[in-house]
Chain A
Amino acid sequence: MNFFKRAWLNLTAKKGRSVLLVLVTSAIMLFVLAGLLIRNAADTATTNAKNSVGATVTLSANREAAFKKMRSSTSTSKSSKPKLTTSPVKLSDATKIAKLSNVASYNATVSTSANATGFSAISTSSSTDTGMKGMGGSTSSGSGDIAITGVTTTSSVSTFESSSSKITKGRGITASDEGTNNVVIESELAKEDSLSVGDTIKLKGTTGDKKTYTMKIVGVYKASSSASTQQGPGSTDVSNSVYTSYTFANTVKGSKYKNTADSVTFEISDPAKVSAVKTSGNKLISTSKYSLTTDDSSYQTVKSSMDNVKSFADKIVWLVAIAGTIILALIVILMIRERRYEIGVLLSLGESRWKIVAQFFMEMVMVLIVSVVLAGFGGKFVGNKLGDQLVSQQTTTATTSTTSTSQGQPGGTGGGGAPSGNTGGSKPSGNMPSGRGQGQIGSTSTNATAKTDLDINVTVMDLVELGGFGLAIMFLSIMLASGGILRLQPKKVLID
Chain B
Amino acid sequence: MLKVNDLGYWYDRQENSLFEHVNLEFKSGNSYAIVGQSGSGKTTFLSLLAGLDKPRAGQIEMNGEPINKIGLTNYRKSKVAIVFQSYNLLTYMSPLDNLMTAMAITKSEHRGDKEFAIKMLRQLGLTDDQMKKNVQRLSGGQQQRVAIARTMVCDAKLVVADEPTGNLDEENTKYVIEQFQKIAHEQKKCVIIVTHEPDVAAACDHSYRLEKHQFVEET
Contact = CB atoms under 8 A, between A and B. Distances in A.
A494 B162 CA distance: 10
Contacts of B78: 350
A165 to B, nearest CB: 71
Interface in B53-103: 53, 73-78, 82, 84, 88-93, 97, 101-102
A491 interface: yes
Given A350-B106, A495-B43, A495-B162, A9 B82 contact: no
B92 A348 contact: no
B52 interface: yes
A418 interface: no
Nearest to B44: A495
A349 B76 contact: yes
A13 interface: yes
A480 interface: no
B92 A350 contact: no
Contacts of B91: 341-342
Contacts of B53: 489, 491
B47 A351 contact: no
Interface string A327-362: 000000000000001101111111111000000000
Contact of B105 (A2, A13, A344): A2
Nearest to B85: A495
Given A348-B76, A491-B47, A342 B90 contact: yes
B134 interface: yes
B77 A13 contact: no
Contact of B73 (A2, A13, A14, A352): A352
A350 B52 contact: no
A341 B53 CA distance: 16
A350 B74 contact: yes
B104 interface: yes
B88 A350 contact: no
Contact of A350 (B73, B89, B90, B97): B73
- Interface size range on B against A: 20 to 34
Given A349-B106, A489-B53, A495-B43, A10 B76 contact: no
B131 interface: no
Give the interface centre of A10, A345, A350 by most chain B CB atoms within 10 Å.
A350
A78 B76 CA distance: 111
B88 A2 contact: no
Contacts of A351: 73, 77, 105
Interface string B111-152: 000000000000000000000001000000000000000000
B201 interface: no
A491 B84 CA distance: 11
A6 B101 contact: yes
B161 interface: no
A2 B101 contact: yes
B35 interface: no
A490 interface: yes
A435 B134 CA distance: 90
B50 interface: yes
B18 to A, nearest CB: 13
Nearest to B154: A349
Interface in A1-22: 2, 5-6, 9-10, 13-14
A350 B75 CA distance: 7
Contacts of B76: 347-350
Contacts of A13: 92-93, 134
B92 A14 contact: yes
Nearest to A10: B92
Contact of B104 (A2, A352, A353): A2
Given A2-B105, A14-B92, A494-B52, A350 B77 contact: yes
A5 B111 CA distance: 14
Contact of A345 (B44, B89, B104, B162): B89
Contacts of A342: 90-92
B97 A345 contact: no
B11 to A, nearest CB: 10
Contacts of A353: 73
Contacts of A491: 47, 52-53
Contacts of B47: 491, 495
Contact of A9 (B84, B92, B105): B92
B105 A345 contact: no
- Nearest first, the 9 A-B pairs at minimum CB distance are A350-B77, A13-B92, A350-B76, A2-B104, A491-B52, A491-B53, A349-B105, A491-B47, A345-B88
Interface of A: 2, 5-6, 9-10, 13-14, 341-342, 344-353, 489-491, 494-495
9 contacts: A2-B105, A341-B88, A342-B92, A347-B76, A349-B102, A350-B76, A491-B47, A491-B52, A495-B162
